[in-house]
Amino acid sequence: MTDELLKYRTEFPILDQTVYLISHSLGAMPRATYERLHEYADRWATRGVRAWAEGWWDMPVTIGNQIARIIGAGENTVVMHQNVSICQSLVLSCLLPQKNSTRNKIVYEELNFPSVMYVYEAHARAHGLRIERVKSDDGITMPLERMLAAIDEETLLVPISHVLFKSAFLQDAKAITERAHEVGALVVLDTYQSAGTVPFSVKELNVDFATGGSVKWLCGGPGAGYLYVRPDLIDQLQPKTTGWMAHEHPFAFETEMHYAPNITRFLHGSPAIPALYAAESGYKIINEIGVDAIRKKSIRQTEYLIKLAKEAGFHVTSPQDAARRGGTISVWDDNAAAIAKELIRREFIVDYRPGAGVRISPHFYTKDEELELVIAEMKKIRDNREYATAEKAGAAF
């Protein structure tokens, strides 16, 4: 079978040196990123401060529009930020309840990404919010009915992960959003582990906010987070986490805040321009291929990976049903942490997470042979107990 997507392998230099199976953590860098960063440096060197008026100032929105195509959002509904923690804080700053309000509960899964939980727990202490973490029975999946039952008339916000980082379990974001709206709550969907590998539309899901970053499946590198705001909410909200780029007339340097009447009201201080240059080459490739094609290959290869792992005597902790799974397969062994370290030393780039195992993620640039190689190498390390050099390999990311 011919894999048309493998023609993109030449765009990613690291694939010549390693078996790179860690797109759930850091996607491979496109070759064009060299050119984009050179363009940034050249623009700064030759145009100086004029570069702001010649494109830099608008980049949080123009680059956001490229993300919008990937996540099914409309134009001018996405702005770029440095990371998800900032985006979550910014959203919450719009919604902090009045003193003595009964609508003060934040609901999310206990398997949410820890950085997100840190944000809400810190705000809860400062602003009298109540946190309800919905329990998982197995540490891998989240029961939908339990999530829905936790969302009630006292719920203010539901910040959930679309795909759980540890296990790749794909949550039913539409059902959770419908329940939240039924009781007057809002939803922040963290699409970090789905955008670029799982097709979805924020408009069809009807989420109020979506956020994520470019580090993983988008192959855009660090420092380029994004925030989507549902269009009808844009003019209604006034972020307390703010700055001069959110002002209606930023260059008037007024001492009173007047929010911009568009998506730029969700900006704050000066953006990370180099990160936006770097990220654009990844978005271009994802949009060129299309997430539907990426997902089709992902399902085929993750199914193959599950088969290979089971045949080798490993336990797969990721969901077996492709409809409930993102792009990652977690493979368990009692010595999974040591196996991951030894794999990395041998240039098989994966990682390990407690309770899940070795995380392996094929992407559109992955060959089937690489999946066969990584499982064969894992089996060899396990069977021959070749852990002696593992400690020298450093942390398993």
Instruction: Copy the structure tokens of residue 133.
Output: 């973490």
Same domain for 269 and 356, yes or no, is no
**192 in Cβ contact with 161 (< 8 Å):** yes
Same domain for 88 and 176, yes or no, is yes
Enter the pTM of the model: 0.94
Alpha helices in the chain (DSSP H): 32-47, 50-51, 59-71, 84-95, 114-127, 144-150, 173-182, 202-205, 231-234, 273-289, 291-311, 336-345, 368-383
Same domain for 357 and 326, yes or no, is yes
C-alpha pair distances (Å), 8 with each of 155, 197, 255, 288, 294: 45, 15, 50, 11, 12
Averaged over successive runs of 10 residues, the pLDDT of the chain (397 residues) comes to 89 97 97 97 98 97 98 98 97 87 94 96 90 96 97 97 95 98 98 98 98 97 97 96 96 95 96 96 97 97 98 96 96 95 96 94 98 97 78 51
Query: Residue type at 86?
Result: I
Same domain for 96 and 216, yes or no, is yes
Instruction: Copy the structure tokens of residue 365.
Output: 């640039």
Count structural domains, the chain: 2
- Percent of the chain at pLDDT above 70? 97
Residue with tokens 């891998």, as numbered in its chain: 140
DSSP structure string for 131-171: EEEEP-SSSS---HHHHHHH--TTEEEEEEESB-TTT-BB-
Residue ranges making up the domain that contains 377:
4-24+290-393
Residues 184, 151: Cα–Cα separation, whole Å: 10
Give the contacts of 69 (CB within 8 A, at least 6 positions apart). 287
Radius of gyration of the chain (CA): 22
Give the per-residue pLDDT at 100.
75
Same domain for 202 and 310, yes or no, is no
Residue 330 pairs in a beta bridge with: 359
CATH of the domain at 281: 3.40.640.10
Give the contacts of 13 (CB within 8 A, at least 6 positions apart). 29, 31
Last residue of a domain, one of 262, 287, 312: 287
Report which of 228, 90, 103 is spatially closest to residue 153, judged by C-alpha positions: 103
Same domain for 134 and 217, yes or no, is yes
pLDDT tens digit sequence for 226-261? 999 999 999 999 999 999 999 999 999 999 999 999
Same domain for 272 and 316, yes or no, is no
DSSP structure string for 47-74: HTTHHIIIIITTHHHHHHHHHHHHHT--
Same domain for 283 and 294, yes or no, is no
CATH of the domain at 376: 3.90.1150.10
Phi/psi region, residue 360 (left: phi>0; alpha: psi -120 to 50; beta: rest), is beta
**309 in Cβ contact with 291 (< 8 Å):** no
